[in-house]
Amino acid sequence: MARRRMLQAFDAAKEIGNYADVPVMPVDVDPQITLSRNTETQPFYLAFAEDTVIALMSGRARVRLRDTNVNYWPMIPGDHVYVPAGTPHRLEPEEESVLIRFIGNDPAYRAAVFACEQCGGELDRLEWQQDLEVEATAIYAELARRFNEDLEHRTCSACGTVAEEISLERLGWSAEPVSA
């Protein structure tokens, strides 16, 4: 999707899918705004090097947090959630939801934190340097593929639960590996 001077969020959201995190403002705008339309629970928690703010435009969802004294924030349209730098968080839509996220425009550290659904323990953490010019879903799909392929990383060392493989098809993410 081409970056725009003016954001018509609902029209633009029709063109994108789960966790697309598409930058929508001109490249020199900082903080940048990203847009996604989500129907499925995010399969991992994201952690950003910088603070972020999530604003829900439509639908109902919850932002679940790890490593904080707040477990989650329920959201309805118009709500904003501030997520401090380094805090793993994920979106859990209760219905189709359109959201925007305010993040820094410069390339920055990101991490995907995979957690045990049984006991909450951390299963795996994959880190990368995010550049907003690279499609988020391509990165997320690659992280999910790596997680799916490694039974050891899907097995909780605390309780022994084996996490299910992440369905790329259900999320609408490409099953093809990113070429180097």
For residue range 136-170, what is the model confidence (pLDDT) as tens digits? 999 999 999 999 999 999 999 999 999 999 999 99
**Domain ranges for the chain:** 9-169
Give the model's pLDDT for residue 6: 47
Model confidence at 14: pLDDT above 60 = yes
Among 85-94, 115-124, 133-142, where is mean pLDDT lowest? Answer: 133-142
Q: Is the bond preceding 93 in cis, omega lying within 30 degrees of 0? A: no
Give the model's pLDDT for residue 46: 97
Mapping DSSP to helix (H, G, I), strand (E, B) and coil, where does residue 9 land? helix
Instruction: Kindly tell me the number of DSSP H helices and DSSP E strands found in the chain.
Output: 4, 11
Give the model's pLDDT for residue 79: 97
Q: How is domain 9-169 classified at the architecture level of CATH? A: Sandwich (2.60)
Rounded distance between C-alpha atoms, residue 60 and residue 19, angstroms: 15
Rounded distance between C-alpha atoms, residue 91 and residue 141, angstroms: 16
Report residue 116's pLDDT band, with 50, 70 and 90 as the boundaries. Answer: very high
Candidates 125, 126, 115; CA nearest to 161 is 115
Give the model's pLDDT for residue 10: 76
Mean pLDDT, residues 77-98 taken together: 96
Give the model's pLDDT for residue 176: 75
pLDDT tens for 40-52 read 999 999 999 999 9
Q: What percent of the chain has pLDDT over 90?
A: 72
